[in-house]
Amino acid sequence: MDLHPGRETRRPRHSGACGCHTGTARPAEIISLLAAIHGLTARESEVLGHVLAGKTRVEIAHRLFVSPYTVQDHLKSIYAKTGVNSRQELVAHLFFTHYLPRYGAPVGPDGWFAGGERETNKDRG
């Protein structure tokens, strides 16, 4: 879920009134949260997005205008930061650690899941 602030447009006579709406979070928003949790760089976050979209190392390289070896280096760094050893483990780790346990859970006023503690890469030692 995603929360978006915005101006109230249905009542023009109340100029300056604010509101917000909720909606399903887009993949880019989820990826940025996962990247922040694990301390990924901007480029690692881009690579992660392509991995989660099912792209191969060569496809990612073409899209990012880098060598497939550079993509592999980014993947190694992502694996180290997330504590996994393969793409399959990466996807499973992200799904089972960050998504499934909280599926359907209420979201708190700060945008994080209510009742849960925020885990950061620093918390994992």
Instruction: Go through the domains of the chain in sequence order and give each one's CATH number.
Output: 26-102 (1.10.10.10)
pLDDT band at 103 (very low <50, low <70, confident <90, very high): low
Q: What is the pLDDT of residue 32?
A: 81
Q: What is the pLDDT of residue 96?
A: 81
Look up residue 29 and give its amino acid: E
User: What DSSP designation does 25 have?
Assistant: P
pLDDT band at 56 (very low <50, low <70, confident <90, very high): very high
pLDDT band at 94 (very low <50, low <70, confident <90, very high): confident
Q: Which of 82, 69, 88 is nearest to 40 (CA)?
A: 82
Q: Which of 110, 113, 111 is nearest to 97 (CA)?
A: 113
Mean of pLDDT values over 84-106: 79
Q: Which residues, 6 or more positions from 91, have their beta carbon under 8 angstroms from its beta carbon?
A: 51, 52
Answer yes or no: is pLDDT of 1 > 50. Answer: no
Q: What is the pLDDT of residue 119?
A: 52
Q: What is the pLDDT of residue 4?
A: 47
- pTM over 0.75? The answer is no
